[in-house]
């Protein structure tokens, strides 16, 4: 077992935090993107879905690429690619160019996501300490911070200034953090048995056959997080009817719920098993979100501020219910699979992305043909159904009291 130094812990949290800040910087300003492109909700959601093509292409080989070139090199390239694609988004007014840029950004996202999770799972295994949930919580904290900043500046700073300056700063600090972690990053290798971890059709088929239940459970469990990123701000602005600045608050509340859950998962593990947490967090989050989102939209017709309070509460409780899903299912998959962590994380993301492509389009056109409130019922119900996958979790406590 190794001991993780305070410096390593700090800069590892930093790359997760910066990822959350950077990649979610545009999410609170979705109405500005919609205005730039002059599209309806259905088309906007479809454009967001198209980005998953880039993720799919990158994820097919990302586990192999990380193993071949090492986490440091891949992380430098992926983060630079991602932030360059995001840097130009505020300046795009063509739907076709925006679609291409979404594909490029998604490729960078895939590389960043796989690399930092592979690195963290490797250090978690060597140290014997469950650090991944805290790191996912740190990511959520970054996503929350970027939303809070957006509340204060949306009415005063243009989208272009906000994104271009912000992304430039995030990229520079990310490069410095990677430099500080260079000595503990996983080096590239061609060890014997490497062919077994390649993202070949055969290896992917084996993984899907062995882990398909885990993949389905994880995917439907995180759809509320995906739906919140795409629609929370527009929902509050259009269905609740509040100002652009206030419309970001439910997005922030979801982030608060995620942070509260993830940063305290190591404590929760002392009292509850994985099986218990999957079942009851999914039921709690799904039911409270579905009920409160309906009440919020209903009361907003006569009292928008009451509707906003209920929406804030719906997303907050939904965030708590969703918080445990991704880190727990990732841990379960890497524990049960014969493949190395990098491959597992890449294939989980690949499967998620494939399902997201279709689900996000469905949600988009439900929003267009009915309302965003109705569309958000889809991820709410999917989170509730995640409780059916509780048997995948361990019945033993992960951390001793």
pLDDT in tens, the chain (401 residues): 788 889 999 999 999 999 999 988 887 788 889 889 998 888 888 888 887 788 777 777 777 788 788 889 999 999 999 999 999 999 999 999 999 999 999 899 888 988 898 888 888 878 877 787 788 788 878 888 887 888 778 778 888 999 999 999 999 999 999 999 999 888 876 554 444 445 566 777 787 788 889 999 999 999 998 888 888 888 998 899 888 778 888 888 998 898 888 877 778 878 888 899 999 999 999 999 999 999 999 999 999 999 999 999 999 999 999 988 888 888 888 888 887 776 787 778 778 877 887 888 899 889 889 999 999 999 999 999 999 999 988 887 765 55
Residue 325 lies in a domain: yes
**How does 246-280 read in b/e, with b if 16+ C-beta sit within 10 Å?**
bbbbbbbbbbbbbbebbbbbbebbeebbbbebbbe
| Residue 366, Ramachandran bin (φ over 0: left; ψ between -120 and 50: alpha; else beta) | alpha
pLDDT for res 201:
64
Residue 53 lies in a domain: yes
pLDDT for res 56:
75
Q: Which residues contact 139 (CB under 8 A, 6 or more apart)?
A: 16, 17, 19, 20
Indicate the length of the chain as a whole number. Answer: 401
Residue 192 lies in a domain: no
pLDDT for res 80:
96
CA distances from 151 to 144, 146, 163, 239, 248 (A): 11, 9, 14, 19, 6
Residue 177 lies in a domain: yes
- Other beta carbons within 10 angstroms of residue 393's beta carbon come to 22
Nearest-angstrom CA–CA distance, 284 and 288: 6
Q: Return the CATH number at 158.
A: 1.20.1250.20
Please provide the DSSP assignment of 86-111 as one string. Answer: HHHGGG---HHHHHHHHHHHHHHHHH
Residue 243 lies in a domain: yes
Q: Which residues contact 179 (CB under 8 A, 6 or more apart)?
A: none
Nearest-angstrom CA–CA distance, 253 and 240: 15
pLDDT for res 400:
59
Domain residues for the domain of 99 are 8-184+199-392
Residue 190 lies in a domain: no
Nearest-angstrom CA–CA distance, 343 and 340: 6
Q: Tokens 């602005």, residue?
A: 237
Residue 65 lies in a domain: yes
pLDDT for res 10:
94
pTM of whole model > 0.85?
Answer: no
Task: Quote the tokens at residue 82.
Answer: 């991602």
Residue 401 lies in a domain: no
Number of domains in the chain: 1
pLDDT for res 338:
81
pLDDT for res 177:
96
């Amino acid at each position: 077992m190794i001991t993780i130094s305070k410096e390593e812990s700090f800069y590892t949290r930093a790359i997760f935090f910066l990822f959350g800040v950077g990649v979610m910087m545009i999410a609170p300003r979705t109405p500005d993107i919609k205005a730039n492109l002059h599209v309806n909700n259905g088309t906007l959601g479809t454009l967001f879905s198209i980005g998953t093509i880039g993720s799919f292409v990158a994820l097919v080989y990302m586990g192999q690429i990380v193993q071949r070139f090492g986490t440091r090199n891949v992380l430098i390239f992926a983060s630079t690619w991602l932030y360059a694609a995001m840097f130009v988004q505020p300046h795009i007014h063509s739907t076709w160019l925006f679609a291409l840029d979404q594909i490029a950004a998604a490729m960078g996202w895939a590389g960043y996501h796989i690399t930092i999770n592979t690195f963290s799972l490797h250090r978690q295994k060597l140290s014997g300490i469950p650090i991944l949930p805290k790191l996912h919580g740190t990511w959520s904290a970054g996503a929350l911070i970027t939303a809070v900043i957006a509340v204060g500046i949306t009415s005063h700073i243009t989208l272009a200034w906000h994104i271009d300056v912000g992304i430039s700063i995030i990229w520079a600090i990310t490069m410095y953090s990677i430099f500080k972690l260079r000595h503990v990053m996983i080096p590239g290798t061609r060890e014997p048995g490497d062919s077994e971890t390649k993202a070949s059709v055969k290896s992917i088929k084996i993984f899907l056959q062995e882990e398909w239940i885990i993949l389905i459970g994880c995917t439907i469990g995180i759809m509320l997080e995906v739906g919140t990123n795409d629609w929370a701000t527009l929902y509050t602005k259009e269905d609740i009817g509040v100002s652009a600045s206030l419309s970001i608050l439910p997005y922030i509340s979801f982030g608060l719920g995620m942070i509260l859950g993830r940063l305290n998962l190591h404590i929760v593990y002392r009292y509850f098993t994985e099986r218990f947490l999957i079942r009851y967090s999914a039921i709690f989050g799904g039911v409270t979100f579905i009920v409160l989102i309906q009440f919020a939209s209903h009361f907003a017709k006569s009292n928008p501020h009451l509707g906003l309070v209920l929406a804030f509460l719906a997303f907050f409780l939904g965030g708590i219910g969703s918080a445990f899903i991704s880190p727990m299912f990732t841990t379960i998959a890497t524990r049960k699979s014969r493949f190395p962590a990098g491959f597992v994380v890449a294939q989980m993301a690949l499967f998620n992305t494939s399902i997201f492509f279709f689900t996000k389009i469905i949600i988009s056109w439900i929003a267009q043909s009915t309302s965003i409130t109705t569309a958000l019922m889809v991820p709410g119900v999917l989170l509730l159904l995640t409780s059916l996958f509780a048997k995948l979790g361990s019945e033993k406590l992960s951390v001793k009291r």
